[in-house]
Amino acid sequence: MRDYESAVTSFDYLPLVARDLHGELTALNACIECCDRHTQGDAVALYCEAQDGRATRYTFRELQAHTARFGNFLREQGVRPGDRVAGLMPRTVELLIAILGTWRIGAVYQPLFTAFGPKAIEQRLGCSGARWVVTDAHNRPKLDDLADSPNIVVTGGALSYPSDHDFWSTLGLQSDDCAPVLLDASAPFLLMCTSGTTGPAKPLEVPLSALLAFKGYMRDAIDLREDDRFWNLADPGWAYGLYYAVTGPLACGHATLFYDGPFTVESTQRVIAKYAINNLAGSPTAYRLLIAEGAVFTDALRGQLRTVSSAGEPLNPQVIRWFAEQLEVVIHDHYGQTEIGMVLCNHHGLRHPIREGSAGYAVPGYRIVVLDNAQRELPPGQPGILAVDRERSPLCWFEGYLGMPTKVFVGRYYLSGDIVELNDDGSISFVGRNDDVITTSGYRVGPFDVESALIEHPAVVESAVVGKPDPQRTEMIKAFVVLNNQYPPSAELAEVLRLHVRERLAAHAYPREIEFVDQLPKTPSGKLQRFILRNQEIAKQQGLDT
């Protein structure tokens, strides 16, 4: 294992380009990097597992032929380099063919999450200007009433609309010879929209140069090895899934896995066992659901996993300890955003101290700092805004939002909007979103600390903590708790949980109110939306005042 400090000090951008990319910075194609360059022999690129247990696999060579046919079809229809093609599809081989075929001709792929309704789809297509959408028969009706109807390719069923194109019939009419378009590294290959955790989704372009950062994350943070069986649970309709379940592993010449079905403990256990998965990535939400099943999950898989990675939300210390004790595997927390990818990690592939509960260390190629409100860099022990020093982060690729002001750029810094704290060992710990931090009786309390303390109690599956307006304290800490089915809600249990947190944190940092709920508000990608709960409490307070 490489030493973290030496990886940081020896980082050199141009040798990295020569090592990690098949093309040059003036002549790149994402389909070459993620498919064509790996077609020697019969290396598997994709394992597909259906809900009913049917399994298929596809080699890089097979995908190369399919993507050439899809690329030729798009060209025949007038799609040119830089044009946008959107995908509203489940995790099947057709999705990957559409992504790679779009890249082959220099066009830009836009993901649309399959849980989106028509309005969310219309808003995102309006941002991108995509004139082509690839979808399946199940999701096709969501496109019926769009104000500006795109051209549509459909897979997985009989065509219901005469203007639609059948996916496989269309490919069958095309040649498997399609020369890839070479572009400059600054040219986009993805059009993303932020998940809208704190406001409307914002569009941004991901340039080809980001391939270097994606591969670096797979190598250093995920520690993806040649003989690993890798599965990223994230949906490719979102950044973590598209960046690191599709682009990253394929760019490394490594197979990825698609499970075409909703997340369940049973299916997750079955797929891990069937494919001998030993390198797993996912979200804290998924891991908490696995933990809630207890022995049902652990007895079947103990000792099988080599590494587990977590992203999307901070990882509660209780989850870390559970994986170590029950599954005999180390789970590491990783931090990133749609705009910047993963930039702060506890690296599986680099040797450095691990501080429980911290998000880790800056990824080599990035300089991550903590700023006060005047954009001055803070020393350890003082909470502030996590920022990327763009001038000293050669892997940073974000250049701003598409067609709108980018207020997150201040001088040389990108401001993440997340409150963090630098530790003495150089690691960084997450406190909360800037809007989520609670001011109570003169103290600033991060909701994540309170949530982590709550989840350590066996009755709690999930929790969300917000500040409720209070005339004496400015804000009062209130917790919304999802309970384990074995624990019925009661006033007595609420008091037990309050004391549980007070004993673990501080007298000022425990929830004075606890409300038991069936579920918590989240974005479609699974990120907690505390602002919805906070706004509900503000509305209640205003109603009382009037």
Residues whose CB falls within 8 Å of the CB of residue 448, separated by 6 or more in sequence, listed in order: 314, 430, 431, 432
Among 165, 162, 192, smallest CA distance to 99 is for 192
Q: Which two tokens stand for residue 97?
A: 């063919």
pLDDT-based confidence at 133, cuts 50/70/90?
A: very high
In contact, 254 and 228? CB cutoff 8 Å: yes
In contact, 453 and 504? CB cutoff 8 Å: yes
pLDDT-based confidence at 506, cuts 50/70/90?
A: low
- How confident is the prediction for the chain on average, in pLDDT? 91
Per-residue pLDDT at 522 exceeds 90: no
Distance CA 235, CA 510 (A): 35
Residue 443 is predicted with a pLDDT of 60
Distance CA 342, CA 364 (A): 11
Residues whose CB falls within 8 Å of the CB of residue 3, separated by 6 or more in sequence, listed in order: 350, 351, 352
Per-residue pLDDT at 464 exceeds 90: yes
Residue 524 is predicted with a pLDDT of 67
Q: Which of 220-234, 291-305, 393-407 has the lowest mean pLDDT?
A: 291-305
Backbone angles phi, psi at 61, to 5 degrees: -65, -40
What's this model's pTM, rounded to 2 decimal places? 0.84
What share of the chain has pLDDT > 90, as a percent?
Answer: 71
Q: In what order do the strands lie in the sheet with 44-50?
A: 55-59, 44-50, 256-260
- Angle at alpha carbon of residue 346, lines to 477 and 459, rounded to 5°: 40
Within its chain, how far is the Cα of 27 from the centroid?
28
Among 209, 86, 71, smallest CA distance to 152 is for 86
Distance CA 317, CA 24 (A): 43
What does the pLDDT look like over 526-536, one tens digit per residue?
Answer: 778 888 998 89
What does the pLDDT look like over 139-163, one tens digit per residue?
Answer: 999 999 888 889 999 998 778 888 9
Residue with tokens 């609309």: 161
Q: Which two tokens stand for residue 41?
A: 């022999």
Structural element, H or E, at residue 58: strand 55-59
Distance CA 370, CA 388 (A): 9
In contact, 346 and 359? CB cutoff 8 Å: yes
Distance CA 22, CA 29 (A): 9
Could you give the domains of the chain? 27-36+56-203 (3.40.50.980), 435-545 (3.30.300.30)
Distance CA 368, CA 388 (A): 5
H helices within 294-436, ranges in order? 295-301, 317-326
Distance CA 138, CA 154 (A): 10
Residue 434 is predicted with a pLDDT of 65
Which tops the pLDDT comparison, 158 or 213? 213
Residue 544 is predicted with a pLDDT of 62
Amino acid code (one letter) for 173 = L
What does the pLDDT look like over 177-188, one tens digit per residue?
Answer: 999 999 999 999
What does the pLDDT look like over 248-280, one tens digit per residue?
Answer: 999 999 999 999 998 888 999 999 999 999 999
- The Cβ-side half-sphere exposure at 299, using a 13 Å CA radius, reads 5
Per-residue pLDDT at 228 exceeds 80: yes
Among 117, 311, 149, 126, smallest CA distance to 202 is for 126
In contact, 112 and 133? CB cutoff 8 Å: yes
| Cα distances (angstroms) measured from residue 506 to each of 83, 92, 416, 470 | 55, 49, 28, 19
| Cα distances (angstroms) measured from residue 537 to each of 250, 440, 470, 490 | 45, 15, 10, 21
Classify residue 474 as left (phi > 0), alpha (psi -120 to 50) or beta: left
In contact, 205 and 108? CB cutoff 8 Å: yes
- Angle at alpha carbon of residue 261, lines to 258 and 264, rounded to 5°: 110
In contact, 174 and 502? CB cutoff 8 Å: no
**What is the rounded average pLDDT of the residues 111-130?**
88
Overall residue count recorded for the chain in this entry: 546
Distance CA 450, CA 508 (A): 11
